Amino acid sequence: MKSTPLFLFLAASMLLSGCASYVNSPAGRAYADSRREAFSHPLIARAYNAKPTAHFPATVALAPQDHAATQELRALDATNKLDALKSLPKLGRIVNLSSLVFSDTDGEIPGRDGKPAPIWNKSDVLLRETAARLHADMVLLLKFETSITNGKVFRPLGTLSLGLFPNDRSEIITTALAAVVDTRTGYVYGTAERSAGRTCHAMTWDDETSNRATRRTQSDAMAKLLGEFPALWDGIVAKHAR
């Protein structure tokens, strides 16, 4: 009976020494090297290996990425047009990322060794940090991208019509983009984008005319995007809610 503990100790020692010998063996080192070489950069590995951690009903933080998206969301909220978004199933509540709780970091965060390390994706990290302060499970990133093409319908036409015919023609295309990101890990639950366009004719294409037409395309693009968001959310819930 007394020899049993000694036998177990020797068996465990042999087992552990076997594991250690494999880790330090050429085969073990080659395996570790192959795992490291599977990704070209640690940031790629971190992004690829990110896991979803949200709990449902989830709290979602609205994070517009530019001034135009911020103003559009405020206008929609003022007219109660975000109520349908707030009442989606398995969505606990929506919070707005206020500038009052944004980090004042200058682009660096403490690294693992305690020394400052640059933020590799400032918009992603700082927004997720702010969402974490609000205890949000996810961040809904929203952004506009707009392109404007200017041109003349037919240059001699302005002379022939004595300036009475609108000869300035511009095409505006605005795309509203959205991404639902895990606050804790950066895992991307889903993305969406919708575009809206306008062709405008004017006597003179000035800044005011351009801004007014751009705001219209932005409103149209955001309306399309929010109209399709419930389908995106249903897919997220079906896949990740347990």
Query: What ranges do the domains of the chain cover?
Result: 1-38, 55-240
pLDDT at 3: 53
pLDDT at 218: 96
pLDDT category of residue 114 using cuts at 50, 70 and 90: low
Q: What is the sign of the dihedral through the CA atoms of 210, 213, 215 and 218? A: negative
What is the 3-state secondary structure of 109-159? EECCCCCEEECCCHHHHHHHHHHHHCCCCEEEEEEEEEEEEEEECCHHHHH
Secondary structure E strands in the chain:
58-64, 91-96, 108-110, 116-118, 138-152, 168-182, 188-202
Distance CA 177, CA 168 (A): 29
pLDDT digits 0-9 by tens, 40-99: 777 788 888 899 999 999 999 999 989 999 999 999 999 999 999 999 999 999 999 887
Measured from the Cβ of residue 180, the count of other Cβ atoms closer than 10 Å reads: 21
Distance CA 187, CA 124 (A): 11
The residue type of 235 is G
Taking a C-beta distance cutoff of 8 angstroms, is the pair 121, 131 a contact? no
Is 13 or 148 the better-scoring residue by pLDDT? Answer: 148
Is 188 or 44 the better-scoring residue by pLDDT? Answer: 188
**Per-residue b/e over 108-144, b at no fewer than 16 CB within 10 Å?**
eeeeeeeeeeebeeeebbbbbbbbeeeebbbbbbbbb
pLDDT at 203: 54
Distance CA 34, CA 10 (A): 33
**Which CATH code, of 3.40.1080.10, 3.30.470.20, 3.50.30.50, 3.30.160.150, is assigned to 55-240?**
3.30.160.150
pLDDT at 45: 82
